[in-house]
Amino acid sequence: MNGNGYLFAAYAITWMIHVAYLGTIVSRYSRMRAAVSRQPSAVR
């Protein structure tokens, strides 16, 4: 791999890590919303 390959790999992996973490937040948020809709009177 040449220098540009390492550079591309570093930038791509950085964004993969961030996107993966954002994905966990979004999926947990959807699950929470579903839980809230099951108990609409209990949670604002």
Partner 1 sequence: MKKLFPILGVITAILLGYALYEALVVAPTEQTMGDVQRIFYYHVPSAWTAFILFFVNFVASVVYLAKRRPVADMVALVTAEVGVVFCTVVLVTGPIWARPVWGIWWTWDVRLTSTLVLWLIYVSYLFLRRFSSSGQTPLLASALAVLGALCVPFVYLSIRFFRTQHPQPVIGGGGSLDPRMLHVLLINWLAFSCFAFMVCWSRYRLEKLQREVDEAEAMASLMAPRGSVR
Compute the distance between CA of residue 37 and CA of residue 32 in angstroms, rounded to an integer: 9
Quote the DSSP letter at residue 13: H
Compute the distance between CA of residue 30 and CA of residue 14 in angstroms, rounded to an integer: 25
Q: How many residues bind partner 1 (CB under 8 A)?
A: 25
Based on the shown chain and the rule CB under 8 A, indicate whether residue 7 belongs to the binding site for partner 1.
yes
Based on the shown chain and the rule CB under 8 A, indicate whether residue 23 belongs to the binding site for partner 1.
no
Which residues in this chain contact partner 1 in the complex, by CB under 8 A? 1, 3-4, 6-7, 9-11, 13-14, 17-18, 21-22, 25, 28-29, 32-33, 35-36, 39, 42-44
